[in-house]
Amino acid sequence: EAMEPGQQRFGWAKDRMPRLAMGHSLGAKLQVLLCCQQPDPMLSGVALLAFNNFGVEDQVALLREFLKVVQGNSGLSGLGGDQLWETFLEPAIGRAAKLSGLQFTPGPDEVLDMVEESYKPDLRTRLFRFSDDSLDCSEELLSSFVVRRARNADRLEMKGGHLTPVVLSLADMAPAGGAVGGVAERLKERFGGFGATLGSEAELEDLVQALMDFV
């Protein structure tokens, strides 16, 4: 069923579609790990969106990116929250994450070492980097691809931010109930004057077209 909209819009022949993998942010990191540890011989390409390779203590920055999207859509950006976040909240949360002792395994350096040792050199791989993305780690991954001599790996620069691939419709989320519906209702109550979506549908549409070109 998921293939049918693509078949209608892009003329896909479902029975002849290549097998491709795609991941966003830490999901892109997971795809890289899978390609290193459990390579799929039928895989013909990998799309890595806003590749992120941070440790646990740095992931607080991702929360900040989401809050910026919420503020931007609500028209409440620039009301003093940035200074509070940068001078107090982000350092405090980062320290708490570090002191917790929790870490991603493998760590950032280990991921890059794995790429240099075991990533399939001829696997078609495209990194999608967004212009306003302060969390993107694609530069260091590209360097590891060079070491690995991954000749079919490249990068596409696009307009947008780290959360460009994420567009949430609160109107669609609210009826879902449970935790998702509750979050949507609270956001709508808190920012009653903002639109029904979080994120840019125009930037997402540009990304969809770029992905189709890669396919």
Summary mean pLDDT of the chain = 78
Whether residue 106 has a cis bond before it, omega within 30° of 0: yes
**pLDDT of 180 over the 80 cut:** no
Residue that the structure tokens 């991702």 belong to: 62
Of residues 137, 61, 58, 127, the one with CA closest to residue 98: 58
Please state the pTM of the whole predicted model.
0.73
Tokens of 59: 């992931």
Mean pLDDT across 12-38? 90
Predicted confidence at residue 34, as pLDDT, reads: 96
